[in-house]
């Protein structure tokens, strides 16, 4: 069962929900459904993420930094937040918005490529023994 990063909606099912005045969400910006190859890649990413966290979290790495193509700024994702976002994408076909890390220490985050290289290095070392 995926971990839900947000608390349950306190107004779920309430006919007096104050958000009802906002109307239905606009889904015009929705992406087309994920195809089998994209789904398989995402499942692979979740598997890789678990390995990266197991290897790097004990070394003080808090998560992954991603350079955002939209705002040209680095985004810092703690392990649990990134896992939750990827699980949400897998379940719903989109990621819900989230708050960025508060005052992150950039030295505590590494890129996905760094994680992959680190894991490859550990695998090569283990295979050489």
With beta carbons less than 8 A apart as the criterion, state whether 48 and 115 touch.
yes
The DSSP annotation for 17-85 comes to -GGGGG-S---TTPPPPP-HHHHHHHHHHHHHHHHHHHHHGGGT--EEEEE-TTTSSEEEEEHHHHHHH
Confidence at 15, pLDDT banded by 50, 70, 90? confident
pLDDT, one tens digit per residue, over 38-80 is 999 999 999 999 999 999 999 999 999 998 888 888 999 999 9
Q: Which residues contact 78 (CB under 8 A, 6 or more apart)?
A: 62, 63, 101
Confidence at 1, pLDDT banded by 50, 70, 90? very low
**Angstrom distance (rounded) from CA 80 to CA 96:** 14
79-92 helix and 36-56 helix, angle to the nearest 10 degrees:
170
**Angstrom distance (rounded) from CA 128 to CA 52:** 20
| pLDDT at residue number 17 | 78
With beta carbons less than 8 A apart as the criterion, state whether 108 and 61 touch.
yes
| pLDDT at residue number 26 | 54
């Amino acid at each position: 069962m995926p971990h839900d990063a947000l608390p349950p909606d306190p107004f779920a099912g309430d006919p007096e929900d104050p958000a009802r005045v906002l109307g239905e969400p606009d889904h015009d910006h929705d992406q087309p459904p994920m195809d089998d190859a994209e789904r398989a890649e995402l499942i692979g990413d979740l598997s890789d993420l678990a390995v990266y966290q197991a290897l790097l979290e004990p070394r003080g790495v808090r998560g992954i930094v991603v350079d955002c193509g939209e705002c040209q700024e680095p985004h810092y994702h703690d392990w649990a937040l990134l896992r939750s976002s990827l699980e949400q994408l897998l379940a719903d076909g989109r990621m819900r918005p989230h708050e960025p890390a508060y005052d992150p220490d950039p030295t505590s985050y590494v890129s996905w490529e760094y994680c992959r290289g680190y894991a490859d290095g550990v695998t090569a070392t283990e295979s050489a023994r």
